[in-house]
Amino acid sequence: MKRLIFILSLALSACVVGRDYQTPEMPVPTKWSENVAAKKIPDQWWRIFNDTTLNGLMNEAVAANLNLKQALSRVKEARILRSETIASGLPSLSGRNAASRRLNNSSAGGGTPGGNQAINIFQLGFDAAWELDFFGGIQRAVEAADASIDTEVENSRDVLLTLQGDVAREYINLRANQQLAATHQSLLASQAETVKLTQIRQNSGLANALEVAQAQAQFDNTAANSPRYETEIKHAIHALSVLLGREPNALAKRFFDAKPIPNVTLALTNLPSELLQRRPDIRRAERQMAAANAQVGIATAELYPKVNLAAFIGLQNLQITDFTPMGKSWSSASTITMPLFNWGKLHANIQAKDAQYEQTFLAYQTTVLTAFQEVENALVAHRNEARRVEALTLAMSSNQTALDLAVERYNKGLTGFVDVLQAQQAVYQTQIGQVESLASVAQYNVALHKASGGGWQTEPRVAEPEKQNLIESVLSK
């Protein structure tokens, strides 16, 4: 017993080879270049649009999206694999039922010549085996498994964040195209009325056939755009349906009635320093570094001796019907193995793991820089698109005034019909541009909140077992 206690204490106090992981420090800007006021982004950022339909879509998507379910399943898998890794460092016990027949040559053993003797041996008992983790190879494997769990958790958060952005983007796209279609139909009705009035004026001798043809041509050109908006509307409905884990036309009836583009508030953003903790892709890249660092330790541990303990305890008899406590048997053994010469294979593996770690570090740096770029791009785009909306609003007022004047002058015979058509086309283009720009502001708002890493804080939880795994509870003591 004292010997066993000594071995256990030695194993638990073993050195751990390989470098200990440290989170890298990345230089971050103190403020955004757009000089916006830093405000805390709400977890459910989509509620800034004040749209109950969008809120409902978000809840349904989180509950039913298939990509998110796959990501959560991978989290469960990583946790199960961690338990497997822990178990590999603990003693194992297996049952042994063995039957053998042995031939003993009495003369070969130096005894009195008596010929050959065949005997049967029957064993019933248990085998125990344990590889002592003196140099921390298994401990590093557990570190890698922990980092892998964290990686999958952050990946599920990234999938959730992407899902929320996709739902908001497709919903805004749907409402924008419904608004564009409504604007288009209103313009078609106005142009149809212009064709009718031009025909009446022709019949009265106040207009000619050219003016009627020009009015009809403008109407036909406008009508040619109608299928485009219908296509975009159906595509958005199909995309939303699939995002909610349903067949493409499942939401068609729900969105039969058109509604305006969701209200847009001012863009929000956090401080640049907070981005490293808010973006799931950055957090995932950092955890991948930790896993790669642990893999270096696992490879390094292969250079050191391995100590294995083995034991058998049970019953052994010459007759299968004669198993009694008197036939008890036990054995114990230990082996130490150490690599001596392998043509540099182990060192090459360590160097390869080091290179993989370097790759994860470079990937982490790239992810951080890309994140800052996405926020800056969204801030610039949002600001400039908001300015465009203001300019289009002014242009709309001016173009409408120009149209009213053109119609008035045409009715008085002071200008040609071409001026009226041109003024109508200007109003139409400005109306379409205004709706598209409002939709773009909303889309850039979505992009900004997604780039800022908001939304995953409301993630669905992966179901935990009611009781901790027995192996983990033993190790934690």
For 400, other C-beta atoms within 10 Å of its C-beta total 15
pLDDT digits (tens, 9 = 90+) for 430-461: 999 999 999 999 999 999 889 988 877 766 55
d(CA 165, CA 453): 10
Phi-psi sector, 313: left (phi>0), alpha (psi -120 to 50), beta? beta
Q: What pLDDT does 1 receive?
A: 44
**Which of 364, 367, 371 has its CA nearest to residue 23?**
364
Q: Does 450 fall in a domain?
A: yes
Q: Does 461 fall in a domain?
A: yes
Q: Does 443 fall in a domain?
A: yes
Report the sign of the C-alpha dihedral through residues 31, 32, 34, 36, in that order.
Answer: negative
Domain that holds residue 149: 12-87+132-304+348-467
Q: What pLDDT does 105 receive?
A: 66
Q: Does 118 fall in a domain?
A: no
Q: Does 444 fall in a domain?
A: yes
Q: What pLDDT does 131 receive?
A: 85
CA angle 465, 469, 474 (to 5 degrees): 150
Q: What pLDDT does 267 receive?
A: 67
pTM over 0.85: no
Q: Does 125 fall in a domain?
A: no
Q: What pLDDT does 469 receive?
A: 44
The answer to whether the CB of 74 falls within 8 A of the CB of 152 is: yes
Q: What pLDDT does 330 receive?
A: 79
Reduced 3-state DSSP string for the chain: CHHHHHHHHHHHCCCCCCCCCCCCCCCCCCCCCCCCCCCCCCCCHHHHHCCHHHHHHHHHHHHHCHHHHHHHHHHHHHHHHHHHHHHCCCCEEEEEEEEEEEEEECCCCCCCCCCEEEEEEEEEEEEEEEEECCCCHHHHHHHHHHHHHHHHHHHHHHHHHHHHHHHHHHHHHHHHHHHHHHHHHHHHHHHHHHHHHHHHHHHCCCCCHHHHHHHHHHHHHHHCCHHHHHHHHHHHHHHHHHHCCCCCCCCCCCCCCCCCCCCCCCCCCCCHHHHHHHCHHHHHHHHHHHHHHHHHHHHHHCCCCEEEEEEEEEEEECCCCCCCHHHEEEEEEEEEECCCCCCCHHHHHHHHHHHHHHHHHHHHHHHHHHHHHHHHHHHHHHHHHHHHHHHHHHHHHHHHHHHHHHHHHHHCCCCCHHHHHHHHHHHHHHHHHHHHHHHHHHHHHHHHHHHCCCCHHHCCCCCCCCCCCHHHHHHHC
Q: What pLDDT does 468 receive?
A: 39
Q: Does 1 fall in a domain?
A: no
Q: What pLDDT does 331 receive?
A: 82
Mean pLDDT split into 10-residue runs, the chain, 477 residues: 47 71 87 73 85 94 93 94 89 82 62 63 82 88 94 94 95 95 88 86 84 87 88 95 95 90 76 86 95 94 89 76 65 87 91 96 95 92 92 93 90 84 89 93 92 76 42 37
Question: Which CATH number fits the domain that encloses residue 387?
Answer: 1.20.1600.10
Q: Does 249 fall in a domain?
A: yes
Q: How many domains does the chain have?
A: 1
